[in-house]
Structure 1
Amino acid sequence: MLRLPIFLQNLHTIGGKRLNLFTAVVVLTALYELYNVLYSAKLQPQYQILFVNHTNDNSSRKNFATVAERNCSAKINLPVFDKRHSEKLQVFFLETSGRPYLKGRQVCSVESAAIKSGLISKVIMKSSYLDLSKRKSFCDLFHNYKNVQFYTINYEELFRNTPVEGITGRLDRVAGGHKFTHYSDLGRLAIVYKYGGYYMDLDVIVTKDMRPLTTFLVIEMPQTTKPDNKTCNIREGSLDVISIHNGEFGFPAGHEFLLQYMESANRTYDPMSDKRNQVGPSHAVLVATQMYKTRLTNRILDKGKPHREVTLIPDYTFLPVVYHQAKSILWSADPKTPQQWEDVFRCAYAVHFYSHYNDHRNVSGDPTKDAYSFLGPKHCPQAFSYYKTEF
């Protein structure tokens, strides 16, 4: 809770004259609101525009311009994320390819979180700057959502004082695209371990407020579990864990599961392996089995134990369609009615689209044909307005 400065606490007199109670309350309230505004502003990232291409005048370069210009030709230097930028209700998205922008479907993910999740979205870029000219949807996202913040990060610094300190040398020896996956898989563990919060992949559409979820992991099953249609519940302990999804989770800072996950990853990580998911879901379930030493089911583990308690939640909460059925359901050959789509997504906090397998699939704009076209207009309307050119 904020404590008012002493000069605000003593505002019953101004200029030596005693104020009546009503006037004092009015003045005090106005100053308190101003104090809150200034305090909150400290949490906002300070962006610096490196270059703006002004198309309406003769000037092609303007240093240190303000973001308020809303120029979609800007290149913007990013602040480095650290503990000063951390907040309680935050969800992290990691872009690890080095691109200075988000693609259309990634923009949709962040926009849907901004609208639905109830959280502050922290988009952590490997690039040190943003190029707003690359995607119109990306420019719109940057300018139109105050609860979306962009940062860059130094991975060596992020991994410092964690079990994966020094692992960047091994990560950089990985050939091909798996390097970006491994940076993401380890980066998400380290950033939530250090700062606490939620993590989500950039190939989801968020459909519900996520604040009711706190410390959780998502179970993966061979076939999507069917909950009760009215309550969205399923009997506790009824699902035996096959795998643990690492694309969405939430933990307080310093949680033991994340610590042991990183310790195990550091011991076993092999940059010469061509295995894309060597620190992914199969590794997560191995760590959970070793740590909790009990049958893993949809229930609370180590209840009441600080930094050990975690809830294993059913797959349908974030994976209402399993990956091997995504093509046949999310891109259906048979037209779907709104009710049929609602039946698929009713109990989901978010819908995972498995971009590794499905990024090439067409988004039609017809809500009867594909899930993006059904969900997009509701949950990421600005991003989806560019579906013909940017999805």
Structure 2
Amino acid sequence: MAEQLASFAARLAGACRAAGLPVGPDRAARFAAAVAAVEPSTAERLRHCATATLASAPEHVAAVQRALEEVLAGVPEVPADPADGRRSPARAVDGPAGAPAPPAGPPVGGGAGPEQEHGLVASAREQLGGRDFAELTPGELAALESAMRALRLATPLRRTRRTRPAARGRVDVRASLRAARSTGGDALRLVRREPRREPRRLVVLCDISGSMSPYARAMVQLLYCAAGGIDAEVFTFATRLTRITPALARTSPAEALARAGEAAPDWSGGTRIGESLRAFNDTVGVRGLARGAVVLIVSDGWDTGDPAVLGAQLARLRRVAHRIVWANPRAHRPGFAPRTGGMAAARPHCDAVVGVKDLDSLPELLAALTGTASRTSSW
């Protein structure tokens, strides 16, 4: 029941405060909302909900998990089978719909089964799919992790200098002569090869200014969850350019976001898009990183600098990049048109401008990256 979930959240918040953590009623409410949205099926997922909503710093995670274990230890167990009286590891904590709370699931690193995982993805999509990223709490954003993992970022293929065996293609003379040794020198079979194709590099330039902070966090989480085998380089910018690719490797989305914030000292600061693009072009972009790559710029276009600088730098980038996609959360608003400021200067140099503000709008972005979407949005 909802009352029992609220009571459980209040007890957990009290245990966190007793451990010296700054957990007030607002964070307790976020935890309860995250549990209601995710409907965690294992204790591990319940711990994810707790750390995402109650820990305000990396050093608080261990204390939050200890507080959760203490509160769960105080909840009576219920029999799994009344016939034999055995105890079940499930705790008698009811969720908003009266269902038993998550059982003590697999050890850390485990997960729900395929059917449970599918249910969690469907639940997250149904409840949060149309919610603006700016309206989501940290717990609700974490709840979208499974749904984002169901997506796949892809870029167009490019020909490489490496080759692979093929039924049709150029004759590999050396390989054909080696094969002829087994037939007395007669080349009865010609060995052919064709160029190998690989996905193009994805370069992401993400605006982390105050107006873009919630969308930047969602995009960083998407890159972590759905990148697959794409060779991706990620930079953030506001008043300066920061490479955060190493911060996104081999860690959870929540920790990746925390590391990204530490690596980018101007998170939630002002915005100088043109100057940041100049720094990217001058250092690594035009020199090679952006050559033949798909460049994704995530920004609302609110630039405190000179729009002419932005236009000039995008023109430089356009000459070396394979494709430039601009993701703007404001593009979904009725009547939006890039007639002034940064977006007006950027539009002529973009292959696609898409509105990305929630989970439901991400397929449009994925299509734009592969080149299967239109050049611009409906405007």
TM-score between both structures, scaled by the size of structure 1: 0.24
Higher RCO (Cα < 8 Å, 6 or more apart): 1
TM-score between both structures, scaled by the size of structure 2: 0.25
